[in-house]
Structure 1
Amino acid sequence: MTETQSPRPTTDGILAECPRFRVLVVGRSGVGKSSLINHTFGIDLATVAHGRRGKCNIEDEIISEHNAYFVLHDSMGFEPGNTKEFETAKEFFRSRGKRVPLKDRVHAIWLCIKVPHAGSRVFETGDEEFLKLAATAKVPVVVVFTQFDILYSGIEMVLTDEEMKLPADQLRRLCSERAENEFEKICLPSLQNIDPAPRHARTSGLGANSNPDRRALADLIRTTLNLLGDTGDFVGKILSSGQNREAIWITSAIAQRGSAQANIDGSIKIGMKRYWRGIASSTKFPGFKLEKCLNTIHFDIVTPWNFNDPNKLLGSKQFLEKMQTITQAVVPSEGEVKAWFGTVKNIFGTAGAVSAATHPIVFPIVAGVGLSGLFIQWLSTVYKRTPEALRLFMGYIVDLTLLLDQLFVIVLALDPPNLLTQTEIDAALDKYVSGAVNAVHAEIREYCNDATFARICRSNRAEEKITELIDTHRVRWEETKT
């Protein structure tokens, strides 16, 4: 083993097996497929050569330079009695079925149906026939009801004069409840007649001049991931092994750009496969330098977030050093802070001893504080199982994950393809350093000290604390914002 070697990233093996999430999107013109794809996967179909509107060829692979982990197959839908279209679909399913390598299979289908008016037919005969065909081919399907906002607008138009006097928040809640009830009454019985256990989602505000319902998109992503991760019924029979299921699930979580929770879940699944589980007594790091271990962890955490980062800013030396600058503060024990960082007063702006409990240590990035010399020297040493090493890995995993969570929310506000620049990264750094970092570091110090280190190693459950910290301090925009 040489000084330049690093542990192999876990994502390398996963993406070698399943490098892209392959989805077939079916729906007639005007149903909102392009906007759905753009906002869910953070691309711009109008800039993709194969994405030109016109007659779709189900065999065409639509790939965008803005998202390396996603490939789209597009179909305009199927007319009843059109034997040629259905034979083409059958052949497509055969050529993309379980007999071909995992990377070439269709992993999921989204059948897009516009939410109908009351009394209108929900599914055309061709839709019903296609769903039966997909079931026969054993391809997972999510029925996506689009343009729910039009149904909501219809509810608004028939409000009484008395209801219009309600406060704005109560009025929105009333309309939402009525629209949801109408949706369930109109759409779900027809779907359940075709499939007694249907997977479905709905979307709103995906028009050219509309603000998308982010929570609805996140729900679609969650529904799809739940379907792909289902080991107990239909999907368990489709895929040949648990390993295949996991590879598809992780790649699909990486490909999407509409749910921070999916990114976090993907990071956790990847981390648990190798680094997080048993991190206090890891057998993966001995023989490697700490800096190399940290760089590998960095890669495995950044990859699942799949930001549109053409300039590789999140893998740059500058960003790595900023993350290390944040995390270095949690590494030394409370009594060793001065030895590691010199004059505490000059760095932290406080006199005397610094208590992690009463004055959590944090480096003001905006003030230009960098890496301490002793920390740099320590990173160049070979991994040893110590409280300092455990605090380093725990701190770095949590710090980077929570910072990327902040960055996700900032980038989400941009129009597809959600291009990442240094401006967004700096804003996320400022938010995290001025926000959760103090509490995170204080909890890690309290959890992992000399008195508890041996017990942590024996229990081998430090990853549970990592997951708990991430869950406690993440932004949670999906639960509160539409």
Structure 2
Amino acid sequence: MAPSSVRSWWRSLRRSQGPSDNAASNYRLDPNKAKRQIDRIPRFRILVMGRANAGKTTVLQRVCNTTDQPEIFDGNGKKVDTGAVQGSLGRGYHNIEDELVFKSNPRYVFHDSCGFEAGSEEEFDKMKKFVTDQAKSTKLEKRIHAIWYCIPLNESHRMVMAAERKFFNECDSGRVPVIVLLTKADTLNLDAVQELMKRGLTIDDAMKEAPEVEKQLQKGCLEKIRGWLNELKFPPQSYVMLTGE
């Protein structure tokens, strides 16, 4: 059987979209065909992108149904000293070739691109080369099967920054689908409460009415980001709104 997290992920992908030409809700996968495709791939490889504090680790943990940190392996499959890596990560160093694997679901292999978002041209070129090389791999299990680009909604004043514009303007991922994950969407609840209180509601009433306003704010953010990114040269294939449990 395919991992339950795959089915859950796809269901969330379909639920999270409103009607649009670019929405995942327009896609319909036959479960049997989907299972056959998944069974062809011993390991599902994903490149995860996005600025620091975009909620990437939380997304990966939820997909793999764990709260543990991933094990890290180099490109040759040798386990990397996690302590040394964590120290490097704190200084902004990331090796995109390293594989991040969770014990709870080893069929997922993640790569972290973090580095070019800080403005490094060298890191950006490394990321582009990695995407190109992996996309051309003749071994199915070595290819990147998807790119998840995380954009947090808790920073409404800078939802799309120079790094996002650069990626979607200059990085042609070929046949590898790029999916924008709008993370931390539930943090807009506080914005909704504050908006309602500005309208004169008490805090108790505002908290009761907040979910509906929160949905409107989320929709507004989605429309803004979609409008900005879809105008660029290599826009994402789809957008997924991610909220809390």
Calculate the TM-score normalised by the size of structure 1: 0.36
Q: Match for residue 182 of structure 2?
A: 145
Q: Distance in 2 between matches of 1:92 and 1:80?
A: 18
Q: 2:25 maps to which residue?
A: none
Amino acid at match of 1:78: F
Match of 2:65 in 1: 42
Report the count of equivalent residues. 195
Identity of aligned residues (%): 26
Q: CA deviation at 1:165?
A: 5.9
1:20 deviates by 0.8
The CA deviation at 1:87 is: 2.4
Structure with bigger strand share is 2
Deviation for aligned residue 1:70: 0.7
Within the candidate set 143, 153, 160, 1:123 is matched to 160
Q: Distance in 2 between matches of 1:178 and 1:16?
A: 39
Q: Which of residues 49, 63, 67 in structure 1 aligns to 2:105?
A: 67
1:135 is matched with which residue? Answer: 172
Is residue 202 from structure 1 mapped to residue 241 from structure 2 by the alignment?
A: yes
Counterpart amino acid of residue 111 in structure 1: Y
- Could you tell me how far apart the structure 1 residues matched to 2:129 and 2:116 are? 14
Partner Cα separation in structure 2 for residue 178 and residue 15 of structure 1: 35
Instruction: Determine the C-alpha separation between the residues in 2 that align with 1:12 and 1:128.
Output: 35
Q: Which amino acid aligns with 2:133?
A: S
SS of match in other structure, 1:123: coil
1:156 CA displacement: 0.9
3-state DSSP class of the match of 1:62? strand
- Alignment partner, residue 311 of structure 1: none
CA distance in 2, matches of 1:47, 1:136: 26
1:27 shift after superposition? 1.5
Name the CA distance, whole Å, in 1 between partners of 2:195 and 2:37.
52
Corresponding residue of 1:222: none
Q: Secondary structure at the match of 1:138?
A: coil
For the pair shown, the structure with the greater C-alpha radius of gyration is: 1
Q: Which of the pair is proportionally richer in helix?
A: 1
Structure 2 vs 1, CA of residues 136 and 203 (structure 1 numbering), >3 Å: closer, same or farther? closer
1:158-205: CA deviation from partner (whole Å, max 9, x where unpaired) = 323336564965x14432333234324543322222266751112233
1:285-364 paired onto structure 2 within 5 Å: none
| Cα distance, 1:117–1:61 mapped onto 2, change above 3 Å | closer
User: Which residue in the other structure is 2:49 paired with?
Assistant: 26
* Structure 2 contact 196–210 (Cα < 8 Å) conserved: no
Gaps of 5+ in 1: 1-10, 206-211, 213-482
User: Do the aligned partners of residues 158 and 56 (structure 1) sit closer, same or farther apart at CA in structure 2, a change above 3 Å counting?
Assistant: same
**Please, what TM-score do these two structures have when normalized by structure 2?**
0.66
Partner Cα distance (1:139, 1:33) in 2? 19
